[in-house]
Amino acid sequence: MDRFLNEMEREKPIGFTVEQLRIATDNYSLLGLGGSGAVYKGSFSDGTSIAVKVLRGSSEKRIIEQFMAKVATIGKVHHFNLVHLHGFCFESHFRGLVYEYMANDTLEKYLFCKSMFLSFEKHHEIAVGTPRGIAYLHEECQQRIIYYDIKPGNILLDRNFCPKVADFGLAKLCNRDNAHITLTRGTPGFAAPELWMPNFPVTHKCDVYSFGMLLFEIIGRRRNHNINLPESQVWFPMWVWKRFDAEQVRDLITACGIEGQNCEIAERFVRVALSCVQYRLESRPIMSVVVKMLGGSIEVPKPMNPFPHLVDWSSPTHLVQASQINADKSICFDSSVMLTKSVHVITTPILTKYEIYLKKFQ
């Protein structure tokens, strides 16, 4: 028991001074800049590599309390697919978090840079490992943690290219008996539709949606929105759905450069991605089920159309009555970007809640 308690004690975040971090980072050797602050590379005296994130923000009491609460919570979170927090630094006008160093940078670097190619097998491992960490946050922590900002840039890769979910700056905590919270967060292109709706209850299903969008980018090894491609392929998730609906998934997978025995796995990925980005919250699986579906331990149900709020006027079989909202443009709530003129918004009682969001495109 004493040994167990000692191990638990060692797992607690360590408090560092500014001077200790200055020495560890060789006078703050810059590694990169993030939305919440600068990141510096360093090492402990035993050779352990670290990344120090110095957070921007106010030093008012409320912010300080939030920071310390976050440190206390993150310090209790331990999972192979989550970046480990070694410690923290809190002094006057200085707040920093000390994480394990990820030698191979972000997933984004390998998805979109042709010179940094990874095999499909490695992408498979990343696609299965990432949701394991998120499922832990959702379903196994004492307090449910909603991540809010799942995207390739927030998935870090260690020296063996194992994925670890990083940067909990946007994560919010809620008691397990709370069904939702009501803050708007996320990155355009990955944020679930409900995150853009004022005062709309937001649940952990928003993370499922964002992971689905991430999975699309792993499948296509391209950004979901690319205006330099043919019109039908500009928004990859819609192109995937059209090919799936037309029972032409294998053609799509071949077009993505996936061949041989990997095609069956890629088809499963397509089904899972379409299931994750379902428009209605209740139609999205929970993350632990996503892990099982990706791993092939359970069957992936045939997904419904995840984009019922979008109409493709180029396809006679999909014509429905639609509004003339912004008739000269096309709106995609899911990617929050302009699409092609062949896509228009369907008016439903639910979609009227997007009026404020629509104005930014008009």
Catalytic residues, by residue number, are 149
One-letter amino acid at 347 equals T
Continuous segment of H or E residues that includes residue 21: helix 18-24
- Spatial contact of 252 and 281, defined as CB atoms under 8 Å apart: no
CB crowding 62-77: b at 16 or more within 10 Å, else e: eeeeebeebbebbbeb
Q: Are strands 85-91 and 14-16 parallel, antiparallel or unpaired?
A: parallel
Listing DSSP states for 254-313 in one string gives HHTT--TTHHHHHHHHHHHHHHHT-SSGGGSPPHHHHHHHHHTSSPPPPPPPS-TTEEET
87's CB contacts (< 8 A; 6+ apart) are: 13, 14, 15, 16, 97, 98
CA distance 5 to 355: 55
Q: Residue 31: in which H helix or E strand, if any?
A: strand 29-34
Residue with tokens 């500014």: 18
The secondary element (H helix, E strand) that includes residue 55 is strand 49-55
Element (H, E) at 37: strand 37-43
CA distance 235 to 233: 6
Instruction: Return d(Cα 344, Cα 240) in angstroms, integer.
Output: 18
